[in-house]
Amino acid sequence: MYYSLGIDAGGTYTDAVVIRDSDGSIIDSTKSLTTYPDLLTGIKNTLDGLDPHFLKNVRYASVSTTLATNSVLEKTGYPVGLILVNDTDIPNRAKIEHFTLVNGGHNSAGNEICPLDMDSVRDFVLRVKNKVSAFAISSYFSVRNPEHELKIKELITELTGLPVVCGHELSQDLGAYERGVTAYLNAQLIPIASHFMEAVSSEIERRNIDAKLMMLKCDGSVVSISEALKKPIESVFSGPAASLVGAAYLSGNEDCAVIDVGGTSTDVSLIHRGIPQLSESGAIVGGWQTKVKAIRMETSAMGGDSHVWVRNHVVNIGPRRVIPLCLAAIEYPEIIEKLKQNQVILRNQIGENLQPTKLFVRSGLQAPDISPAEEELLSRIGDRPLTVSDIYWNENRLPNPGTLDLLIQKRLIKAIGFTPTDALHVLGEYKEWNRDASLLGAAILAALSGIDEDELCIRIKKDVARNMALNLISFLLEGISKEEIEKVLMGKFFARFKADLPVVLLGGPVKAYADELAGFIDAHILVPDHCSVGNAVGAVAGKGTKKLEILIKANYTQSKYNLKTSSFVTFFPGGREEFASHHEALEFGEEMGTKLIMNYMADSGMDTDGVSIDMHRNDIVTHEGGIPVETKLIFSGIGQARKTRTTVEID
């Protein structure tokens, strides 16, 4: 009996599932806290929670992770040299230390408009080669003709031997600057992705798991590790993509909307005919507009671990995440006594960080660059949780909330506090951890807000459900402002929103929110079994998908009286070919599209015998019955992963 293993390293938890290959049943699952900055520790802890009998018979494993996203957001990527060809300006040039602009590039027909200035390229490469770990290149209209990018790549390889990423290799969309950003971020992530996947591979092998290892991309498809290492930028937002694929698998619905309530955020997305809906403009990561095809998603900073705090009798949820009291009390039992002491904070001092239910503990990370005030405050915080009163005991003053905030942002300390997960523990609707800690926290906040504990927790639960409904309707009614949608959700009308497709809920305690959500929207709401590990299910249930476009355009020459078609050019990913007739160009384009899809599937570890390919053709003609002046061929391929191991060397 053979099995498949899915692992998702999310922002709060690392989940794993084991699926029986013979019938697709989930036979084991587990979750543990995600560990930063070393995700491998969390993966080890999660795998330790699975039955070793199943693990030794795993032949296929797939991973999804927030590693790439976090690296970009936290600016921890490796230094990269960026080369832009044909004076494509850099709007965010202050963020890029090593870059140059050189002459060169092509026009929309793929014809050279300016000779490539190889001398400037050489000077730049020799100047920065010892300061960077990789290079990125983007040339004007390289999607029509990649010749200049390829020449630069060849020179860099010859001079340095460092990795080189070309814009045309990652996207066929127009936009030289955005392709450059995509290539730049991809090059930053190559060493990080390599180290991560090498660590995961070594852990799989250490446990004697003879499995083929795959990775989920941010469009919901899976690729082999070798392919993932070439394009690590495509793993950004693979966590939300995993939840989408997992929801479809668990619910048995290939058409559904998905609400994934995580610890840090709530994400809404949609899958249709088993294919996730993608963002047309490309993913925005850390303020960078890229050409990465990621799922379209509506996100809000309200999740199960969002901090619930009170000021001036007003109950606030988020946007910051904290460790729930009920969870922290498992590791730090002294939290119970500290909450019973009910520390006193004056009403004019109370804020998000200065709360009687909030505690702080060192994260264990080093402090490379902090101010004297930060260092002084950090020295007062140890490896056991302290209230704000504990931190400045007998000094008749409280910590500066701004300094506390900076230490939290830098991840030098971790915050513990009351959360929606605690509210569910109080209401008895979620019983995973220590309810006593949640009850004590609720009593303190209820006194501050002027209501009783149950009413407080019911209100928190309703606010979370309303936020879920707001995200969902905002996603489905694209272009309608959230303010208008919220008026309907908050008002008392003889009408409400209706969703015309099933809504699948994922996340640990989402079952508790189903009835509240149904009060805001009319929809068929599903809470499938194993919804708490839906992302890990998605990591292993993903299919291989590939979409590409081939463009055929007429070339014209000027005759004595008018323009005359002289040839037809077929543009395809990686090149162009010129033909005398539209028929020849079309025939070549159809063959090339199929070939590229099949090559991609083979490189990605798919079973090529089971690949299905659809092609759609769009023609532009100037008069009825005439030969098209432009033809676009859109190819979509779907394949299943080949569940046998292939040896991959990771450098």
Residue 11 has pLDDT above 80, yes or no: no
On whether the CB atoms of residues 398 and 354 are closer than 8 A, the answer is yes
Q: Which residue has the higher pLDDT, 591 or 191?
A: 591
Give pLDDT, residue 428: 93
Residue 505 has pLDDT above 50, yes or no: yes
On whether the CB atoms of residues 354 and 401 are closer than 8 A, the answer is yes
Give pLDDT, residue 283: 64
Residue 18 has pLDDT above 90, yes or no: yes
> If you count them, how many residues does the chain have?
651
- Compute the average pLDDT of residues 601-615: 82
Q: Per-residue confidence at 326, pLDDT binned at 50, 70, 90?
A: very high
Give pLDDT, residue 289: 65
Residue 641 has pLDDT above 90, yes or no: no
Cα 29 to Cα 8, 16, 86, 536, distances in angstroms: 12, 6, 53, 9
User: What are the backbone dihedrals phi and psi of residue 186, each rounded to the nearest 5 degrees, phi first?
Assistant: -60, -45
Cα 527 to Cα 23, 260, 515, distances in angstroms: 21, 11, 11
Residue 92 has pLDDT above 70, yes or no: no
Name the pTM for this structure: 0.72
Chain centroid offset of residue 125 CA:
32
Lowest mean pLDDT among 3-12, 384-393, 635-644: 635-644
Q: What is the mean pLDDT of the chain?
A: 83
- If we measure between CA atoms, which residue out of 290, 272, 215, 276 comes closest to residue 243? 276
Give pLDDT, residue 290: 67
Give pLDDT, residue 647: 39
Q: Does the 66-236 domain belong in CATH 2.40.50?
A: no
Give pLDDT, residue 367: 66
Give pLDDT, residue 94: 53
Q: Per-residue confidence at 570, pLDDT binned at 50, 70, 90?
A: very high
- Compute the average pLDDT of residues 365-383: 80
Residue 541 in tokens? 């249930």
On whether the CB atoms of residues 17 and 536 are closer than 8 A, the answer is yes
- If we measure between CA atoms, which residue out of 275, 239, 280 comes closest to residue 260? 239
On whether the CB atoms of residues 293 and 321 are closer than 8 A, the answer is no
Q: Which residue has the higher pLDDT, 559 or 522?
A: 522
Q: Per-residue confidence at 296, pLDDT binned at 50, 70, 90?
A: confident
Lowest mean pLDDT among 459-468, 522-531, 539-548: 539-548
* Rounded Cα–Cα distance for residues 148 and 115 (Å): 9
Q: Which residue has the higher pLDDT, 293 or 211?
A: 211
Give pLDDT, residue 650: 34
Residue 651 has pLDDT above 50, yes or no: no
**DSSP readout, 78-134?**
PPEEEEEESS---TTGGG-SEEEEES--B-TTS-BSS---HHHHHHHHHHHTTT-SE
Range among 198-202, 222-226, 263-267, 631-635 with highest mean pLDDT value = 631-635
Q: Per-residue confidence at 460, pLDDT binned at 50, 70, 90?
A: very high
The beta-strand segments (E) located in 283-424 are 284-285, 288-289, 298-300, 306-311, 314-321, 323-324, 359-362, 386-387, 413-417
- Compute the average pLDDT of residues 370-390: 85
* Fold: same for 66-236 and 544-639: no
**Where are the domains positioned within the chain?**
66-236, 306-456, 544-639
Q: Which residue has the higher pLDDT, 190 or 292?
A: 190
Q: Per-residue confidence at 127, pLDDT binned at 50, 70, 90?
A: very high
Residue 264 has pLDDT above 90, yes or no: no
Give pLDDT, residue 559: 58
- Compute the average pLDDT of residues 404-414: 82
Give pLDDT, residue 236: 66
Give pLDDT, residue 648: 37
Q: Which residue has the higher pLDDT, 227 or 461?
A: 461
Give pLDDT, residue 93: 57
Q: Mapped to the 3 state alphabet, what secondary structure does 136-183 carry?
A: EEEECCCCCCCHHHHHHHHHHHHHCCCCEEEHHHHCCCCCHHHHHHHH
Residue 237 has pLDDT above 60, yes or no: yes
* Rounded Cα–Cα distance for residues 430 and 407 (Å): 31
Which fold, 544-639?
A: Alpha-Beta Plaits (3.30.70)
Range among 92-96, 523-527, 574-578 with highest mean pLDDT value = 523-527
Residue 461 has pLDDT above 90, yes or no: yes
Instruction: Say which residues have a Cβ less than 8 Å from residue 194's Cβ, sequence separation at least 6.
Output: 229, 650, 651
Percent of the chain with pLDDT over 70: 90
User: What are the backbone dihedrals phi and psi of residue 365, each rounded to the nearest 5 degrees, phi first?
Assistant: -75, 155
pLDDT tens figures, 464-490: 999 899 989 988 888 888 888 888 888
- Compute the average pLDDT of residues 245-262: 89
Which DSSP category does 542 fall into?
Answer: P
- Compute the average pLDDT of residues 156-161: 92
Range among 72-76, 187-191, 575-579 with highest mean pLDDT value = 575-579
